[in-house]
Amino acid sequence: MAKNHVPDWLNNSLWSSRSPPPQQSLTPAKTSIDSEDMNRSTNSVVKSSVSTESSVNMPVPVPPPAVIRAEPRPVPPPSPKVEIIGPLNSSSSNCRSDGENGSSDSSTTTSGISSTEDISRQAQLSQELSRKIINLGEVRRLASQGIPDGPGIRAIVWKLLLGYLPTEKALWPTELAKKRPEYKQFKEELLMNPSEIARRLEKSASLENDGTGTDIEGKGVLSRSKVTQEEHPLSLGKSSIWNQFFQDTEIIEQIDRDVKRTHPDLHFFSGDTPSAKSNQDALRIILIIFAKLNPGIRYVQGMNEILAPLFYVFRNDPNEEDPAMAEADTFFCFVELLSGFRDNFCQQLDNSVVGIRSTITRLSQLLKEHDEELWRHLEVTTNVNPQFYAFRWITLLLTQEFNFPDSLLIWDTLLSDPEGPQETLLRICCAMLIIVRRRLLAGDFTSNLKLLQNYPSSNISHLLYVANKLRVKSAG
């Protein structure tokens, strides 16, 4: 018998998961946003009051007909091994997929065994990308189901979906020849030391005055009488290049700390290898340039987690002859991606209709619309404030809730939505709640909060299916 306010299709056992067995941790803990204010430290404040969740025995749901993708979750020793191929190899190679039905049978990663549907979709994407004029609508449709692993397919598709590449292939060389030198110029101008800036300005002025530049001042050395207030290292003026330099230093130090913590379980981003250090340097430079070009936002903790998937995909594109160009491509795509979420990172807008609190409220309303019983139990009966778990989900685009390969699949769906990723993100977050609704309905404040702050491993194909079901239901 269906309960009041609960859609009939939610009463199927597929939408719920049973509690996973107790496990021992083999992988590093997930990185979360740190913050100086209460709004951005909710996660840590609440976690201190969370105790061990009591186990809830639920009926075992029927597994959906989809490949269960593995996530690096804590496991006991006899668990089956799953290998992540290529640069995704991490220091923790033994993984287990608990899945939403608690099964670890036939678990694979996105680099594992491809289904017939994946092979077919890969062929269709390759065919579409080979056309002179690419049908972006068809690419969106195919990508929304997840982009199968292939030689550079995801890199090209993401660049198309983010508007970095035009749909006319003949224009790609022209567009790249314009954007990549522009990024190089950003690096030369924005990463320069103030002393070098002062020397260049003085040298330029001297050459304009006498056309020689042979005297000591022309060589870039300023006499004491000609050092202006703005050029003095102790100047506190807003236009002082030195004052701005010292302000930037604080942000750069924060970026350095966050970059070093980016995906510590992946050799691509962490370790002492030259490759890992080079990748970290690229992330650092991109974030610094973004902060300087966007003084209204600058840098907010967590941006490194959003940047990482873009750089990983573009850096491992086998079709790119010069891998160094991945840094420039990543920068422009990162700017485009954040343009749809920038209000979530602006603290001054937190309480506005476009800020992060408003976005979390929309998630709450979406849950109430599709499953009022679950909404009432969470927010009224157990008083679980959505900010306690949804803040990280939304601001980090779910990069911390799932393993890295599964995050890429979720991003395929986010980027392919023609309406923008924000609404799709909220539907996926709502689907995450609905999938574990039985455990949530059986839980109290402590157990529910622990569950949502440490979301269980799930079948990503099934999660995206439920999210799409919410879209269809809303449209109907």
The reply to whether 321 and 353 lie within a common domain is: no
In which band, very low, low, confident or very high, does the pLDDT at 37 lie, cut at 50, 70 and 90?
Answer: very low
408: in domain: yes
Closest CA to 436 of 10, 111, 9, 137: 10
Structure tokens at 318: 């086998």
Domain at 142, CATH number? 1.10.10.750
In which band, very low, low, confident or very high, does the pLDDT at 92 lie, cut at 50, 70 and 90?
Answer: very low
305: in domain: yes
Domain count, the chain: 3
The reply to whether 320 and 245 lie within a common domain is: yes
Instruction: Quote the CA–CA distance of 428 and 400 in Å, as a whole number.
Output: 14
Is the model more confident about 249 or about 464?
464
207: in domain: no
Q: What is the pLDDT of residue 344?
A: 72
Q: Is residue 34's pLDDT more than 70?
A: no
Q: What is the pLDDT of residue 360?
A: 94
Q: What is the pLDDT of residue 392?
A: 94
In which band, very low, low, confident or very high, does the pLDDT at 30 lie, cut at 50, 70 and 90?
Answer: very low
Contact 249, 291 (CB under 8 A): no
In which band, very low, low, confident or very high, does the pLDDT at 250 lie, cut at 50, 70 and 90?
Answer: confident
| pTM listed for this prediction | 0.70
Q: Residue 255: how many CA atoms within 13 Å on its side-chain side?
A: 22
The burial of 65, by beta-carbon neighbours within 10 Å (0-12 exposed, 13-18 middle, 19 or more buried), is given as exposed
69: in domain: no
Residue at which a domain ends, from 340, 356, 373: 340
80: in domain: no
Residues in Cβ contact with 224 at an 8 Å cutoff, skipping those fewer than 6 apart: none
- Domain hosting 159: range is 117-168
In which band, very low, low, confident or very high, does the pLDDT at 389 lie, cut at 50, 70 and 90?
Answer: very high
In which band, very low, low, confident or very high, does the pLDDT at 73 lie, cut at 50, 70 and 90?
Answer: very low
| Helix 303-315 / helix 274-293 crossing angle, nearest 10 deg | 120
413: in domain: yes
Q: What is the pLDDT of residue 342?
A: 73
The reply to whether 284 and 187 lie within a common domain is: yes
Instruction: Quote the CA–CA distance of 57 and 53 in Å, as a whole number.
Output: 12
* Per-residue model confidence as pLDDT tens digits over 95-136: 333 334 333 333 444 444 457 888 888 999 999 999 999 999
* Per-residue model confidence as pLDDT tens digits over 319-376: 887 778 999 999 999 999 998 887 777 665 666 666 788 999 999 999 999 999 999 9
The reply to whether 300 and 321 lie within a common domain is: yes
Percent of the chain with pLDDT over 90: 50
Q: What is the pLDDT of residue 129?
A: 94
Is the model more confident about 220 or about 119?
119
Q: What is the pLDDT of residue 203?
A: 54
Q: Is residue 304's pLDDT more than 60?
A: yes
